[in-house]
Homo-oligomer: A and B are copies of this chain.
Amino acid sequence: MSEEGPRKRPFWYFVGRPGGGNGAAGPCLAGGDVAMVLLLPEEKPMSPQPPAAPGMPLVDVDTPALIVDLDAFERNLRGMADFAAQAGVRLRPHAKTHKSPEVARRQIALGAVGVCCQKVAEAEIMVAGGIKDVLVSNEVAGARKLARLAALAGRAKIGVCVDAADNVEEIERAAADAGTRLGVMVEIDVGGRRCGVAPGPAAAALAERVAASRHLSFAGLQAYYGSAQHVREANERAQHIARAVAHVDATLAALKAVGLEATVISGAGTGTYEHEAASGVYNELQAGSYIFMDADYARNKRADGGPFDRFEHALFIYASIMSATVPERRVLDAGLKAVAIDSGMPMPWQLPGAVYLRPSDEHGNLDVAACPRAPARGEKVLLVPGHCDPTVNLHDWYVGVRGLGGAEARVESLWPVAARGALF
């Protein structure tokens, strides 16, 4: 830092050689190399440093950190892939959960047809990370975003959802300007009361509008029922999805009446996927949270009344006890900026009797009055997030740990949460 205060001018060069030559490029520019000056002020870090390094024992990882139990994670990946294969449905996992091409590539290696995203910026990062088939399972409004989406369709197979005729016109213009072709799913509201046109004739009319567009293909129906995912009783979830299936059936009939066919019926989440898969109507599953399993999904019940345990908790927040001034309370260094609480408080892991409560921005209180052995100041603990998606979005790095729970737990991988903050 200079004594005169912060630098006002950029002071780094980026020097790259097309083709990615690295050591070979050497420190001097040659013809064809790319050099540019970084425009950000010095105070903007290039990227936050990871809280760990590969090979490090878990206990040395700095806190708060986003931990992936790689063993459980891999079992979760395999479990859903096997289920989809056996059910004979396509799996298109939702990348809004993980925001990581590293994870997406592993899902695709096990048979997924591609991924879903919710935002154009997420889709851009997935395509940059090598994903060839991305459905933006969401409406996209505005010329700037649609221009980017249409451009992306020149690099990968891109789909998007619509629920309004004027949005179809916007997308058609963007695709025409970019000279690309977009697959368009008509989203129907199957009960979630969010986006989606009414099932039946209204949806069919919108599909006709899509099919008549020169640069768009009618790709099928988006029929996701978000609010059914967290209904606790299995039979109630089944009833919700049965109603959704009826809405899809009515829409398929209306499509048939106008001479259209929906080749893909896409939907489902980690709470309901078994019902969509068994429906005989849905042929593509969009589940995302199954890879990590948060505390809220674990509150769902199976048909026999037991806890929904088909997938394992694989995502944790690692936190330190930063204060321990009274016997009944510990203060953690993980608060609202480290763990999402919209679906309930995080759950202390393997710490019987401890309850996380009263989070503030950078602190979490741990009530340890009922703990047989309360952790001391400086010790580190694991928390299971209440809701994985917005928790992941608070972090820049996944710290992949092998052997979590054992004495030899070690950091194996560091993956960037590449699409963290990819909001638009």
Residues on A lying within 8 angstroms of B by beta carbon are 1-2, 5-7, 9-17, 20-22, 25, 27-29, 35, 37-38, 40-48, 51, 60, 62-65, 96, 101-102, 105, 118-119, 121, 125, 127-130, 138-142, 144-145, 155, 163-164, 166-167, 170, 189, 193-198, 226, 320-325, 329, 331, 333, 336-338, 340-342, 358-363, 365, 377-378, 387, 389-390, 393-396, 416, 418, 420-424
Cβ-defined contact, A125 with B45, below 8 A: yes
Chain B residues near A40: list those with CB within 8 A: 47, 416
The CA-CA distance from A324 to B423 in the complex, in Å, is 20
9 pairs of A and B residues whose beta carbons are closest in the complex? A6-B130, A43-B129, A5-B130, A27-B29, A195-B323, A11-B20, A44-B416, A118-B362, A141-B322
- Whether B43 contacts A125 by the Cβ 8 Å rule is yes
Q: How far is the CA of A212 from the CA of B10 in the complex (A)?
A: 44
Residue numbers in B under 8 Å from A363 (CB-CB): 194-195
Contact A424 B51, CB 8 Å, known A11-B17, A138-B322? yes
Decide: A142 and B63 in contact? CB cutoff 8 A.
yes
**How far apart are A356's CB and chain B's nearest CB, in angstroms?**
13
**CB-based contact B128/A195 at 8 Å:** no
Within the complex, the shortest CB–CB distance from A405 to chain B, in Å, comes to 22
In the assembly, what is the distance between CA of A142 and CA of B51, in Å?
Answer: 13
Q: Closest residue of chain B to A63, judged by CB?
A: B424
Contact for A42 among B29, B128, B424, CB less than 8 A:
B128
CB-nearest residue of chain B to A62: B424
Q: How far is the CB of A151 from chain B (nearest CB, A)?
A: 12
A189 and B365 alpha carbons, distance in the complex (Å) = 14
- Asked if A424 contacts B333 (CB within 8 A), the reply is yes
Contact B42 A195 (CB under 8 A): no
| Chain B residues with CB under 8 A of A119 | 362
Q: Closest CB of chain B to A16's CB: distance in Å?
A: 5
Question: Using Cβ atoms and an 8 Å threshold, which residues of chain B touch A6?
Answer: 101, 105, 128-130
Residue ID in chain B nearest A10 by CB atoms: B22
Contact of A360 with B194 at beta-carbon distance under 8 Å, contacts A62-B142, A139-B322 already known: yes
Q: Given A14-B13, A322-B140, A360-B226 in contact, is the A62-B145 Cβ separation under 8 Å?
A: yes
User: With A20-B9, A141-B377 in contact, do A198 and B325 touch (Cβ < 8 Å)?
Assistant: yes
Q: Contact at A48–B333, with CB atoms within 8 Å?
A: no
Partner of A320, one of B65, B142, B195: B142
Q: Is the CB of A423 within 8 A of B323?
A: no
A96 smallest CB distance to B (angstroms):
6
List 22 A–B pairs whose Cβ atoms lie within 8 Å, in order of A's numbering. A1-B155, A5-B130, A7-B20, A11-B17, A15-B15, A15-B27, A27-B35, A40-B47, A41-B416, A42-B128, A43-B102, A60-B144, A62-B144, A119-B362, A138-B322, A141-B333, A141-B378, A166-B377, A166-B378, A336-B342, A336-B389, A394-B421
Residues of B within 8 A of A9 (CB): 20, 22
Chain B residue nearest to A187 in the complex (CB): B323
The complex places the Cα of A5 from the Cα of B104 at a distance, in Å, of 12
